[in-house]
Amino acid sequence: MKDMAFPHIRPHPDQGRIRQSFRRGLDSYHRSASVQADIAARLAGMLQAQGAPRQIGAALEFGCGTGHLTRQLLQRFETGSLILNDLVPEAACALRALDGTVPAQARFEPGPIETLPLPQDLDLIASASTVQWIPDLPALTARLAARLKPGGWLALSGFGRGQFRELAALGSAAAAPSYLDAAEWRAVLPESMEILAIEQRPAVLEFGTALELLKHLRQTGVNGHAQHSWSRRRLRDFEAAYRAQFGRDGRLPLTYDPVLLAARKTG
């Protein structure tokens, strides 16, 4: 699918690489992204626990990827209409494979959420593990809040400043542009949004070798900003430095630092 077909797609220069990285990882993403699957389940649960009603009129999910959050939302809520968005047009195919759970009222719109034309009066906007890729989050959340009805719900997850702390310490360029701790979200959201619940709880995965760890990053598409290719020597040096600084009983830990929030538009 060519971007020419979507005139509103004018990616930020880096978005080309982010898109390529997620597109490449799409096939393997669904089974490899266990942390993101767990986050999606917790985020949908948080929304429900905060009192979001089972019947939701108009909903938007952006950065839907292969549908981890889509499934969780559809298990808990009935939506009158549902717009599913992702930067990667091929995500539409992944969603079609969602074993019949995407309802007839859902439609897929590709492109960057920052410039995607959006309807007014949404009842719910949700997104898991995507906002860390948005360079100007105050601008995006102001835009999203303006499209919510009064009383409308916002459920978001991103990652905090401890995300991949091991890679950051070793000088990797695999960071996304907007890692935010829970305490920073109040200043990012517009005043009209009341935060009902927010949590930040790190999760650590462990790998036997640096190669396995790098494969995991590649399969989940999360290293959209990493540019270098790996020579054998580079890999050996990286593994030695990783083990020396972070090795635990011969294993290599990798820290995820998810931040989840549920908010509601007050006026």
Ligand X SMILES: C[S@@+](CC[C@H](N)C(=O)[O-])C[C@H]1O[C@@H](n2cnc3c(N)ncnc32)[C@H](O)[C@@H]1O
Residues making contact with ligand X (CB under 6 A) = 18, 22, 33, 36, 40, 62-65, 68-69, 85-88, 91, 112-114, 128-130, 133-134
Token digits for 95?
Answer: 């969603």
Question: Measured from the CB of residue 24, what is the shortest distance to ligand X in angstroms?
Answer: 11
Please identify, using beta-carbon distances, which residue of 126 and 196 lies nearer to ligand X.
Answer: 126
Please identify, using beta-carbon distances, which residue of 34 and 209 lies nearer to ligand X.
Answer: 34
Shortest CA distance to 228 belongs to which of 174, 177, 176, 175?
174
Please identify, using beta-carbon distances, which residue of 86 and 257 lies nearer to ligand X.
Answer: 86
Please identify, using beta-carbon distances, which residue of 152 and 158 lies nearer to ligand X.
Answer: 158
Q: How far apart are CA 98 and CA 92, in angstroms?
A: 10
Residue 37 has a CB neighbour count (10 Å cut-off) of: 19
Q: How far apart are CA 125 and CA 47, in angstroms?
A: 11
Please identify, using beta-carbon distances, which residue of 152 and 258 lies nearer to ligand X.
Answer: 258
Please identify, using beta-carbon distances, which residue of 107 and 234 lies nearer to ligand X.
Answer: 107
In the sheet that holds 55-62, the strands lie side by side as: 106-110, 78-86, 55-62, 122-127, 148-159, 258-265, 193-200
Question: Measured from the CB of residue 126, what is the shortest distance to ligand X in angstroms?
Answer: 9
Looking at beta carbons, which residue is closest to ligand X?
A: 65
Phi–psi pair at 116, nearest 5 degrees: -65, 130
Phi–psi pair at 59, nearest 5 degrees: -130, 150
Token digits for 244?
Answer: 């020396």
Q: How far apart are CA 69 and CA 128, in angstroms?
A: 6
Question: Measured from the CB of residue 158, what is the shortest distance to ligand X in angstroms?
Answer: 10
Question: Measured from the CB of residue 181, what is the shortest distance to ligand X in angstroms?
Answer: 19
Angle 152-150-121 from CA coordinates, rounded to 5°: 70
Question: Measured from the CB of residue 202, what is the shortest distance to ligand X in angstroms?
Answer: 17
Question: Measured from the CB of residue 31, what is the shortest distance to ligand X in angstroms?
Answer: 11
Token digits for 117?
Answer: 């034309």
